[in-house]
C-alpha cells in the first residue's frame, strides 16, 4: 500500500530529525521514580529526573494520595468552575498561598497549562510582552498566544537587564508584561529577579515568574526564588511554580494578589476549560508541602552534593556551566558527541540524558545532570569517576 502524501511528508521530516542526531527516545521505568531506576531490567543510578528533594517516591505522600482517593474518589468530575473544585483543592490553594507569601493561589493540572493561562490573559491587542530568550517552551508558547491576540512581543537577550530596560523605555503601551524563568531549566542559572522587579516597578509592568525549578529548593524552607532573593510579595508579580519536580507529585500553581488571581480565574482559558486534577493529588500535595517546609536537611544535602560534583568535575575537557542549582549542565558541543557520552555513562549504569537542539542552542548539546537530595556522596563520586575515565 502506497503512503499518502501526508504520511510521506511526515516520514521525510522524521528521517531529517534522525539525520541530525535529534531523535528522541522514551525509556520505560519499571520502578518508582528515585535515585535508583530500573529500566530495561537494569538498575541505573538516576541523574535524569527533576525529583530534586527525592519526594517522588515518598511513602507518606503516597499514603496521603491513597487516603485521598478513598475519601474523595479517583476523579474531580468537571472543571474547577463547574463542579470540580473539591475541598482538597481549596485547602491546597490556601496552603500554597500562605507558604509563598501571597494572598491567593490557583492550582493547575500542569505547569504548561499554568503558563499558557497567565501571559495570554494579561496581554492582548495593544499590549506588550518582554520575554527572556532562554525561557521554557511553555512560556514561549504562551508568548506566541499573546502575539496571536495582537500583543507586541519582544525577546531580550538572556538575563540582559540593560537591553530589557531599553525595550521597556521605547514601548508606548500602558500594559507591559515581563516574563522570565527564575531558574533556567537547561542552564541552571538564576534570573536577576531583583533587577527585573525594579524594572517592573519603574515601568508599571507585570512580572511573570516561572519558578518551576526553584520552588522547594531555594529560599527559606524551600519557598522559592523570591525568598532566595528576599523579594517581597507584590501586586505586580505573578508567581508560577510546578508541583511535579521538588514537590514530587504533579500539577502547578499561580500565586498573586487577590485581584490578579480573580482575573486569572475569570479569564484564563486553560484554567476555565480544563477538568480539575483528581482531589487525591491535592491531598498528596498538602503532605508534600509539609515535607518541603520541614526539609532543610534535604536541601542541605543537595547543596553539599552540588559542591562535591562541581569540585570533582573541574578540569575536564567539557565545560560545566556556572550553576548553583540542582541543574548542572555539562556542555559537550556536537549532538553525536553528547549522545555518545550519555550512552557511555548508560553502559556504566549511570542515567544522564543528552539534551540537544532545539531544546538548547545549536552546537551546545550537553549532559543535563540533575542532582537530588536523595543522592549520596558515593553516588556523586561514581559519576565523577566515570566522567574522568571517559575524558
Q: Is 245 a catalytic residue?
A: yes
CA distance 162 to 221: 32
* Alpha-carbon span 92 to 322, nearest angstrom: 35
As given in the structure block, the three cell numbers for residue 11 are: 516520514
Could you tell me the maximum CA-CA distance found in the chain, to the nearest angstrom? Answer: 64
Helix axes 279-293, 87-100, angle to 10 degrees: 30
Residue-level length of the chain:
391
Catalytic residue, chosen from 80, 89, 136, 245, is 245
Q: Which of 213, 225, 372, 375 is the catalytic position?
A: 213
Q: Which of 232, 258, 325, 249 has the alpha carbon at shortest distance from 287? A: 249
Q: Is 283 helix (H, G, I), strand (E, B) or coil?
A: helix
Q: How far is 374 from 382, CA to CA, in rounded Å?
A: 15
Distances from the Cα of 33 to the Cαs of 36, 269, 314, in angstroms?
A: 8, 32, 29
Q: Is 185 a catalytic residue?
A: yes
> Under a CB-based contact definition with an 8 Å cutoff, are residues 332 and 318 in contact?
yes
Catalytic site positions: 185, 213, 245
Amino acid at each position: 500500500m502506497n503512503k499518502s502524501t501526508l504520511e510521506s511528508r511526515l516520514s521525510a521530516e522524521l528521517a531529517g530529525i534522525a539525520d541530525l542526531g535529534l531523535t528522541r527516545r522514551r525509556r520505560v521505568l519499571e520502578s518508582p521514580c528515585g535515585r535508583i531506576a530500573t529500566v530495561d531490567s537494569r538498575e541505573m543510578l538516576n541523574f535524569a529526573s527533576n525529583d530534586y528533594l527525592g519526594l517522588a517516591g515518598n511513602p507518606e505522600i503516597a499514603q496521603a494520595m491513597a487516603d485521598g482517593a478513598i475519601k474523595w474518589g479517583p476523579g474531580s468530575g468537571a472543571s474547577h468552575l463547574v463542579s470540580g473544585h473539591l475541598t482538597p483543592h481549596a485547602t491546597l490553594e490556601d496552603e500554597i498561598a500562605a507558604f509563598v507569601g501571597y494572598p491567593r493561589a490557583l492550582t493547575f493540572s500542569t505547569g504548561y497549562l499554568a503558563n499558557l493561562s497567565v501571559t495570554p490573559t494579561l496581554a492582548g491587542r495593544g499590549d506588550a510582552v518582554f520575554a527572556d530568550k532562554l525561557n521554557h517552551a511553555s512560556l514561549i508558547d504562551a508568548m506566541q498566544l499573546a502575539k496571536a491576540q495582537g500583543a507586541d512581543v519582544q525577546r531580550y537577550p538572556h538575563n540582559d537587564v540593560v537591553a530589557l530596560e531599553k525595550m521597556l523605555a521605547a514601548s508606548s503601551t500602558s500594559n507591559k508584561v515581563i516574563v522570565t524563568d527564575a531558574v533556567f531549566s537547561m542552564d541552571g542559572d538564576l534570573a536577576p529577579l531583583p533587577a527585573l522587579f525594579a524594572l517592573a516597578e519603574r515601568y508599571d509592568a507585570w512580572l511573570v515568574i516561572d519558578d518551576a525549578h526553584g520552588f522547594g529548593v531555594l529560599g527559606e524552607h524551600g519557598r522559592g526564588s523570591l525568598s532566595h532573593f528576599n523579594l517581597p510579595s507584590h501586586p505586580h508579580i505573578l508567581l508560577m511554580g510546578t508541583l511535579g519536580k521538588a514537590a514530587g507529585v504533579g500539577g502547578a500553581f499561580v500565586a498573586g494578589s487577590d485581584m490578579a488571581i480573580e482575573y486569572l480565574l475569570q479569564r484564563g482559558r486553560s484554567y476555565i476549560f480544563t477538568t480539575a486534577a483528581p482531589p487525591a493529588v491535592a491531598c498528596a500535595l498538602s503532605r508534600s508541602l509539609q515535607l518541603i517546609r520541614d526539609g532543610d536537611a534535604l536541601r542541605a544535602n543537595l547543596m553539599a552534593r552540588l559542591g562535591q560534583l562541581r569540585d570533582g568535575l573541574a578540569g575536564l575537557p567539557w565545560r560545566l556551566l556556572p550553576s548553583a542549582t540542582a541543574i548542572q549542565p555539562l556542555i559537550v558541543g556536537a549532538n553525536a558527541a553528547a549522545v555518545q557520552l550519555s550512552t557511555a555513562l548508560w553502559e556504566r549504569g549511570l542515567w544522564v540524558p543528552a539534551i540537544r537542539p532545539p531544546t538548547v542552542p545549536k552546537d551546545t548539546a550537553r549532559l543535563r545532570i540533575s542532582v537530588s537530595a536523595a543522592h549520596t556522596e558515593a553516588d556523586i563520586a561514581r559519576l565523577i569517576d566515570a566522567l574522568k575515565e571517559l575524558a
